[in-house]
Amino acid sequence: MSIAIAQTAPTFTLPGVDGRDHSLDDYRDARALVLVQSCNHCPYVRAWEGRLMAIQRDYIERDVRIVAISSNDVANHPEDSFEQMQMRAREQRFNFDYLYDESQSIARALGSARTPEVFVFDGNRSLAYHGSIDDNRDETAVTSRYLRDALDAVLSGVVPAVADTPPVGCTVKWQS
Amino acid sequence: MKIELLYWAGCPSHPEALELLQTLLAERGLEANVDLREVRTDEEAQTLHFPGSPTIRVNGRDVDAAGAEGRPALTCRIYHLADGRVSPIPSREQLQEALA
């Protein structure tokens, strides 16, 4: 069960693929913070990856920060290791931070179930939107752009019309 | 024609793959049954050479030969489309070619 709308973002300090630690407070200037439960190996993540980069590019000047977090157990999914995360971020030229939640504490705090799964926090770090990036993994068939709509609402100081959608993707790989 | 669709329930893609497969079979007027098989454990994934969900074999041949040799695992399978995009299910073209 994911955290509820209006709940506060969990605090964290996690290593990023850039070799630095990143904490919630590092993003204090962002008018909206998007935490994305993510990983390397999932085809749904990869299908949406380009759209996520486009959203970061389109909203960076409006002080929106996207932060992807991988929490997957790497014992059974070695392609999600920190080294592989660094490689993927470099290859794809991610324009957002990509953090490694080895203890899975952030995934548990968010109540994440899927990758990708999006959590949009407003300027007060209160959850304003949770769920999918949009309504179709196939970009050519998208009709509702949930994440963009939620960001537009948050940046306008209003509550998103759609605040919760079911995330579609791979399951988070929990440690046994 | 023998068609198998192997899937792992932890990945949400197999209903969409089955629907596409059945649509293509109907379009071609083929009466073949699709043998659905759930893969539940890592041991089963190893035994069945299951590189991820869904895996579709027509007369024993994987519809995506390039991905068939992936490490057996309970995971979602990645398919690469002709236009460079990534998909959790085979493309219509991949399935059409396998059914031809």
> Any chain A CB within 8 A of the CB of B93?
no
Per-residue DSSP letter, A126 = B
Query: In chain A, what percentage of residues exceed pLDDT 70?
Result: 100
Range of the domain at A87: 13-171
Identify the CA nearest to B92 among candidates B20, B38, B13, B16. B20
Which of A19, A22, A70, A21 shows the shortest CA–CA distance to A42? A70
Contact A135, A166 (CB under 8 A): no
Residues of A in Cβ contact (< 8 Å) with B79? 43
Say whether B79 and A43 touch across the interface (CB within 8 A): yes
Residue B3 identity: I
Is residue A80 in a domain? yes
List the 32-51 stretch of B: residues with Cβ below 8 A of A.
42
DSSP structure string for B39-76 = --SHHHHHHTT--SBSEEEETTEES-HHHHTSPP-SSB
Q: Is residue A5 part of a domain?
A: no
- Write the CATH number for B17: 3.40.30
Condensed to tens digits (0 to 9), the pLDDT of residues B71-92 reads 999 999 999 988 888 999 999 9
Question: Over the stretch A52-63, which tens digit does the pLDDT of each residue have?
Answer: 999 999 999 999
Shortest Cα distance, chain A CAs vs residue B38, angstroms: 16
Give the domain extent around B24. 3-99
What residues pair up with B4 in beta bridges, in sequence order? B35, B57
Q: What average pLDDT does the segment B62-66 reach?
A: 94
Angle A146-155/A43-59 helices, nearest 10 degrees? 30
Output the average pLDDT for chain B: 94
* pTM for this predicted structure: 0.93
* Distance (Å) from the alpha carbon of B89 to chain A's nearest alpha carbon: 9
Residue A4 inside a domain? The answer is no
**How does the average pLDDT of chain A come out, rounded?**
97
| Total domains, chain A | 1
**Number of structural domains found in chain B:** 1
Contact with chain A for residue B74, Cβ under 8 A:
yes
Q: Do A137 and B11 touch (CB under 8 A)?
A: no
Helix (H, G, I), strand (E, B) or coil at A142: coil
pLDDT of residue A95: 98
Neighbours of A143 (CB within 10 A): 7
- Domain containing residue A30: CATH number: 3.40.30.10
Asked if A89 and A52 touch (Cβ cutoff 8 Å), the reply is no
User: Is A3 among the domain residues?
Assistant: no
Which spans in chain A are helix H? Answer: 43-59, 82-92, 105-110, 146-155
CB < 8 Å to A139, chain B: 85
Residues of chain A with Cβ-Cβ distance to B76 below 8 Å are 41-44, 170
Upper half-sphere CA count for residue B53 (Cβ side, 13 Å): 29
d(CA B78, nearest CA chain A) in Å: 5
Q: What is the pLDDT of residue A46?
A: 96
Is residue A7 one of the residues assigned to a domain?
no
**B contacts of A116 (beta carbons < 8 Å):** none
Q: Residue B3, CB half-sphere, CA atoms under 13 Å: how many?
A: 20
- Assess whether pLDDT exceeds 90 at residue A49: yes
**CA separation for the pair A167, B36 (Å, rounded):** 25
CB atoms within 10 A of CB A6: 12
Q: Within a 10 A sphere around the Cβ of A67, how many other Cβ atoms? A: 23
Give the model's confidence band at A134: pLDDT under 50 very low, under 70 low, under 90 confident, else very high.
very high
Q: Most distant CA pair in chain A: distance in Å?
A: 43
